[in-house]
Structure 1
Amino acid sequence: MIKKIMLLCTFAALSLLFAGCQEKAQPDDRLQEYVDLWNKGKFDKMFSDYANSSTKETFKKEDFVTRYKDIYKDLEVKDVKVSFKKPDKEVEWDKKSKAEFPMTISFNTLAGEVSYKKDVTLTKEKKDDDENWFVDWDPSFILPEMEKDDKVGVESISAKRGEILDRNQQPLAVNGEAFELGIVPKEFNENDLSKLSSLLDLSPEQIKSKLDASWVKPDYFVPIKKIALTERPLALDVIELDGLYSKRVPAREYPYGEATAHLTGYIGKLTAERLEKLKDKGYTAQSLMGLSGAEEVYEDELRGKDGQRIYLKQQDSEDTFTVAEQPVEDGKNITLTIDAEMQKKIYAQMKDEAGTAAAINPQTGEALALVSTPAYDPNEFVLGMSSEKYKKLADDPQKPLRNRFQLAYSPGSTMKGITASVGLKSGKLDPKKIYDIPGKKWQKDESWGNYKVVRVFDNESKVDLESALKFSDNIYFARVGLDMGAETFIAGLKDFGFGEEIPMSYPIYKSQVSNDGEISKEVQLADSAFGQGEVLMSIVHIASAYGGIINDGTMMEPKLLKDEEQKVWKKDLLSKEQADMMKTDFRKVVTEGIAGKASVEGKAIAGKTGTAEIKSEQGTKGKENGVFVSYDQNDPSMVLAMLLEDVQDAGGSTHTVQVAKKFYDTWK
């Protein structure tokens, strides 16, 4: 019994001893708790429970908590990591009144990483009859070298946007200047409001709304409108009015204007919705970014990265201390494969019509021109287009805002060159085989009902591949398609890249065999073989496909960036002998066939025409798109595919042939 009592007493003594040890807090334990709170952003508790008396005498709780929160928010502080080194040996802390530990503080900011070392001191103090350790704090805990009255500043250095150049280093999109016209309100005569409105194509209400902005003061310069430097006469007229001034300001310029509008696109401010999605990538309400065309496609390369500097400034000094700095990274210039002068000349011939054109080097795949008409002036978007002007563009029935070289169209009879190639490669088309075609209309049998394939010319009843290409014989190619069979035909089109993404950095709609990728009916197969049905191709793919034929059966990937590697997209589309035969026939389309109006002195123009009918049913009158794919056999370094819409009253595809000829007449 005595032993039990002694044992219980011993346990009681140990428990009291253990409890006593636990009650004596160690400074490293206290600091660890403090650090944990800091890492979690619990600034309120850091001050209330851990700041020593000296700190609380010098700083108010609100100053401590608010300053931490405001600075961390303004500097976009993330990933805070605070740690300290504990002593290597045991220390008898109960005999000491102070404890010092080396601390490391790091975090990421909008100007990059901030990392610094700080010796932290804890003092032993009594609080509510309990003795404990408390942190001796000062503002240098927030930022290195920071003192009580220092101001924190952020300096932003805007990155210069990269420029877009053509293959010959001609500027397509550059950092230029514009005139900014503005009013100094106290000098402005309101009687001139109507005249100013007329000069600047702005309503009086639009001008007044700028003058009524909350920040405006009588002697401030109030920007009203930017205009291109080429409009200097307008600027001179405007500043003749009292209170009107102009100054030169930075502005994106597009020297080729409408000719390259859809290719380059333009830059502008982000919508609130878009900004919300991109704010984590450093965009702000003042940011300009590519909103269409190459400006948008190559935004990441062109944009660059703004420089940022976080600094401290003492109250009575001009000196600053840099806390963190992220150097500015200007955007990269990009060089396109485009020949701007070629683009300009093609555009000049097409600009009054709706259509598109692509010029591609068949040996390299380089896009030399990508044209869409009608167009708009991208400079107006950058300088500030009025809502009335934008509405006029948006409502224009010819759709000048539509980028047509991206779209997929019915290729019409230009499909026949591809169908012939598929047939030759598969061995199911004998180019010497003669089809007996006595009239203009043909159907396989009565199972086709009222549907018949119609050809334009019936001057020949004995038709082989050469004559079928020369006179674009629908019936011949319908029969070739049927003899080939849907399986072979579709497989051949897939060899030409149908149904897959166009391997180009600039997005282009992919081509299709049909809406579902299948051909289940004979009529559809017949129609598809001569370019009707549900077959769709972009002008870029048409040019590339013909480039593959001209390049002896090797089709290159279309490329737009000059520094991109040249790559084969499809090979062995034809044998060398088959390709040579096709090229001979393409030349005869011009010298002996329906594209005679493409003849140009000094050039050996060859190619294939196509008329795509857009109508609901056979026998009705609808719209027609005229297509012409061509190249100069004396210089086969460019294939030009051109499509013009609504040519039904202008001569069909012959009209497109004539427009292409005008380009060849003027091109070197």
Structure 2
Amino acid sequence: MAKKKGSKVRKKRHLLILEIGGVAVLAALVAGLVLYRNVFSDTRDAVLEEYMGLIEKKEYEKMYDLLDTASQESVHKEDFITRNKNIYEGIEAKDITLDIAEEQDTSQPLSYRVTMETLAGEVTYDGNTFFEKEKGTWRIVWDDSMIFPDLGKEDKVSVTSLEAKRGSIYDRNGVLLAGQGTVQSVGLVPGKMNVQAEEDIQGIAAILGTTQENIETQLAASWVKEDSFVPLKEMTQTQLDEPYTSPEGIATGASIQDKLLEYPGVLITEAESRVYPYGESTSHLLGYVQQINAEELEEMKDKGYDEQSVVGKSGLEKLYEDRLRAKEGYKISILDSQGNEKTALAMKPAEDGEEIHLTIDIQWQQKLYDAYKEDKSCSVVMNPKSGEVLALVSTPSFNSMDFVLGISQTKWDELNNNPDKPMYNRVRETWAPGSSFKPVTGAVGLTTGAFTAEEDFGASGLSWQKDESWGNYKVTTLHEYNGAVLKNALIYSDNIYFAKAALKIGADTFAKQLDKLGFGQDIPFDIGMTSSQYSNGDTFETEVQLADSGYGQGQVLVNPLHLACIYSAFFNEGNMISPYLEYQEGKNPSYWVENAFTPEAAATIYEDLKEVVSNPEGTGHSAAQVAGVALAGKTGTAEIKESQEDKDGTELGWFAVYNTEGLDGQTVLMLNMVEDVKGRGGSGYVVNKDVEVWNQVLAE
């Protein structure tokens, strides 16, 4: 509502009240007060305040009623309402305030200052308005300058959008991962189409995955002329180059682009779009943008979004929305009848979105995706000494461009009904770690003094139970060997050794140490990750569960990034690194958990894991064939089954692998998990895949 501010002093009137007495005199006094208010509140100031207050209420008809007779004769009510409505609502005028100079001569125009907020910022102007008194009431002598002083009858108020660009996302080496690019816009020029084009439209609709009705609706738009380009769908050049197969499933030998151009009137041109150059390999990480929906607009309208805004819907596009978003600018001007600018009233400059540089290395990201794209898997690559995350990959994947360009219902159903769940970001979830958890148990045991690295737990064969209290349950392992000490137990991945280790540590101490390592906590990372757990309850419920947990079974579920962070302590004298995703030159490493393990325990595990790869008996020995680096790490195969007797369960394969030399002194820790490796070599399947990845990265 309009407000009057400033130093204006209200006029005061003094009434002589005679004490005559009686109710009748009191009634007369009340009537006199009403008369006083009616006579003296109808000032020019009050009329102007009322007029300006009606603008924000959008009550333009009442504004018109405040005009004098001559003004109403010169401008028709409907024209007045339309002009004021279009201008004030077009500039989104609000928070209108008035500052009226005091004690002005009523024979002269009333001087005042108006301030209002608009979509282009604050507008302030000085006005001078004449008033006429009609039947004892002040009325406004109106012309167009009442809206803005420089506005003439034939002039227009123009609102111009100043375009801004959404911020781009880059990898650590400045490679574009998401940003402004071009796509191909497929459309029709009506004047070049066949006269009887119904069959053509049906054919085009089938190729584009839309309907005949939808195309006809777009062609019938009021703006469309014979020579207009009517856009129908945006596609990538890769999509256009794909072979075209008819709805009957017949391969035509032509590309989609060739098939479209067979129809008269089809035109393919370039259009600007948000693009993701690395497609499926980065889609889970980056997410995608789309036009804002009604629910989002309701939540975000106070931040300057409108119906045409494009917003991040998932991944980093959503996470960094406030920083990436383009903030359009606006300019409000008065134009003369020829379209020339007379006055610039306000301008809010456009603000491009921020450029964001990630720690991601697209080389690792893409190589891992290519290696595992046919699997249900997730991968984390990080520098364990700095905390820089070099890759986050989930497979199978989807293509962000499908959503940017407008995903069809058929494609959406295909993604959602796929049993391999391509929309599911596995890297954010938790999984049974199996033997990849054994180094953690070993480090906890050494740190707490539950046992030493040289302590021999004794031979137990291929199956073992603590005592008869376990009933028929036994822990099994795959290999027999001499000397049940920590190093050998890691080399042979001995389940029995680590079951005994967990029992030696004890339930309370093990739980306390795992809590210290971040179990049950949020991972300090930009992207939200599911918290790891070691039990479905508050602690280990049984001795068997405790024993199974020692080798990564039981109820242990670990997030891959979290497990990588725990492994990082082996590189940092027992301190667990804080992972980070946004590149910062010269950033000093920070620790999520200091003294997670003793320096001695961390160093022991680091050295022992070298043997898992270098020793011919080691479960990760296949990784020794990678030339140019020396690798170390730990495999893991987690059984997912209902009971020990269940023969139909599946297996998860793990490999946590790092280089101890090579890569020009850079240390890289890579951790991979693959579902359904049962019958495919277990964790050996993952080791072989990782060998391919390391060889490819080193070859470039």
Give the TM-score taking structure 2 as reference length.
Answer: 0.85
1:335 aligns with 2:340: no
Which string of whole-angstrom CA distances, capped at 9 and with x for unpartnered residues, describes residues 574-599 of structure 1?
23332221111101111222111111
TM-fit CA distance, 1:550: 2.0
TM-fit CA distance, 1:337: 0.6
Residue 690 of structure 2 corresponds to 660
* Secondary structure of the corresponding residue to residue 409 of structure 1: coil
* Secondary structure of the corresponding residue to residue 481 of structure 2: coil
Which string of whole-angstrom CA distances, capped at 9 and with x for unpartnered residues, describes residues 603-651 of structure 1?
2110111112222222203111101101011146110000111001101
TM-fit CA distance, 1:237: 5.3
Name the aligned partner's letter for residue 270 of structure 2. Answer: R
Name the aligned partner's letter for residue 357 of structure 1. Answer: S
Partner Cα separation in structure 1 for residue 457 and residue 149 of structure 2: 89
1:642 aligns with 2:647: no
Structure 1 range deviating more: 71-80 or 399-408:
71-80
Q: What is the number of equivalent residue pairs in this alignment?
A: 650
- CA contact 1:47–1:64 (8 Å) conserved in 2: no
Alignment RMSD (CA, Å): 3.2
Name the aligned partner's letter for residue 79 of structure 1. Answer: D
- CA contact 2:479–2:492 (8 Å) conserved in 1: yes
Which string of whole-angstrom CA distances, capped at 9 and with x for unpartnered residues, describes residues 121-154 of structure 1?
444x241xxx344444443343453333433332
- CA contact 1:181–1:235 (8 Å) conserved in 2: no
Q: Select the residue among 27, 31, 49 that pairs with 1:35.
A: 49
Residue 481 of structure 1 corresponds to 502
- CA contact 2:42–2:138 (8 Å) conserved in 1: no
TM-fit CA distance, 1:194: 6.3
TM-fit CA distance, 1:206: 5.8
Which string of whole-angstrom CA distances, capped at 9 and with x for unpartnered residues, describes residues 542-575 of structure 1?
2221112222212221111113854321111223
Q: Select the residue among 134, 147, 152 that pairs with 1:147.
A: 152
- Distance verdict in 2 for CA 1:427–1:102, change over 3 Å: farther
1:188 aligns with 2:193: yes
- CA contact 1:25–1:133 (8 Å) conserved in 2: no
Name the aligned partner's letter for residue 619 of structure 2. Answer: I
Partner Cα separation in structure 1 for residue 212 and residue 67 of structure 2: 61
- CA contact 1:598–1:605 (8 Å) conserved in 2: yes
1:56-67 equivalences under 5 Å are: 56-65=72-81, 67=83
1:273 aligns with 2:295: yes
Partner Cα separation in structure 2 for residue 477 and residue 409 of structure 1: 19
- CA contact 2:47–2:66 (8 Å) conserved in 1: no
Structure 1 range deviating more: 437-446 or 658-667:
437-446
* Secondary structure of the corresponding residue to residue 532 of structure 1: coil
Residue 13 of structure 2 corresponds to none
List runs of 5+ in structure 1 lacking aligned partners: 1-5
- Distance verdict in 2 for CA 1:101–1:188, change over 3 Å: closer
- CA contact 1:173–1:254 (8 Å) conserved in 2: yes
Name the aligned partner's letter for residue 665 of structure 1. Answer: N
- CA contact 2:64–2:77 (8 Å) conserved in 1: yes
Residue 626 of structure 1 corresponds to 653
1:541 aligns with 2:562: yes
TM-fit CA distance, 1:474: 1.8
- CA contact 2:460–2:496 (8 Å) conserved in 1: no
- Distance verdict in 2 for CA 1:106–1:393, change over 3 Å: same
Residue 97 of structure 2 corresponds to 81
Residue 398 of structure 1 corresponds to 420
Residue 595 of structure 2 corresponds to 572
Residue 22 of structure 1 corresponds to 36
Partner Cα separation in structure 1 for residue 521 and residue 638 of structure 2: 22
Name the aligned partner's letter for residue 188 of structure 1. Answer: M
TM-fit CA distance, 1:506: 2.1
- CA contact 2:47–2:138 (8 Å) conserved in 1: no
Q: Select the residue among 226, 229, 232 that pairs with 1:221.
A: 229
Q: Percent identity?
A: 38
Name the aligned partner's letter for residue 597 of structure 1. Answer: S
Partner Cα separation in structure 2 for residue 288 and residue 584 of structure 1: 51
- Distance verdict in 2 for CA 1:457–1:320, change over 3 Å: farther
List runs of 5+ in structure 2 lacking aligned partners: 1-17, 242-254
Structure 1 range deviating more: 331-340 or 141-150:
141-150
Residue 3 of structure 1 corresponds to none
- Distance verdict in 2 for CA 1:214–1:456, change over 3 Å: farther
- Distance verdict in 2 for CA 1:389–1:469, change over 3 Å: same
TM-fit CA distance, 1:388: 1.9
- Distance verdict in 2 for CA 1:126–1:283, change over 3 Å: closer
Residue 607 of structure 1 corresponds to 633
Name the aligned partner's letter for residue 686 of structure 2. Answer: T
Which string of whole-angstrom CA distances, capped at 9 and with x for unpartnered residues, describes residues 501-551 of structure 1?
111112222222333443332222222222122222222112221112222
* Secondary structure of the corresponding residue to residue 263 of structure 2: coil
- CA contact 1:440–1:458 (8 Å) conserved in 2: yes
- Distance verdict in 2 for CA 1:33–1:666, change over 3 Å: same
Residue 3 of structure 2 corresponds to none
Residue 372 of structure 1 corresponds to 394
Residue 582 of structure 1 corresponds to 605
Residue 435 of structure 1 corresponds to 457
* Secondary structure of the corresponding residue to residue 568 of structure 2: helix
Partner Cα separation in structure 1 for residue 420 and residue 38 of structure 2: 85
TM-fit CA distance, 1:376: 2.3
- CA contact 2:51–2:63 (8 Å) conserved in 1: no
- Distance verdict in 2 for CA 1:219–1:422, change over 3 Å: same
Partner Cα separation in structure 2 for residue 541 and residue 197 of structure 1: 48
Residue 8 of structure 2 corresponds to none
Give the TM-score taking structure 1 as reference length.
Answer: 0.89
- CA contact 1:35–1:83 (8 Å) conserved in 2: no
- CA contact 1:627–1:643 (8 Å) conserved in 2: yes
Name the aligned partner's letter for residue 248 of structure 1. Answer: E
Name the aligned partner's letter for residue 476 of structure 1. Answer: Y
Partner Cα separation in structure 2 for residue 558 and residue 276 of structure 1: 35
Partner Cα separation in structure 2 for residue 146 and residue 299 of structure 1: 39
Which string of whole-angstrom CA distances, capped at 9 and with x for unpartnered residues, describes residues 140-190 of structure 1?
343453333433332212311111111111111121111212122343244
* Structure 1 segments of 4+ aligned residues over 6 angstroms from their partners: 14-21
Partner Cα separation in structure 2 for residue 606 and residue 665 of structure 1: 15
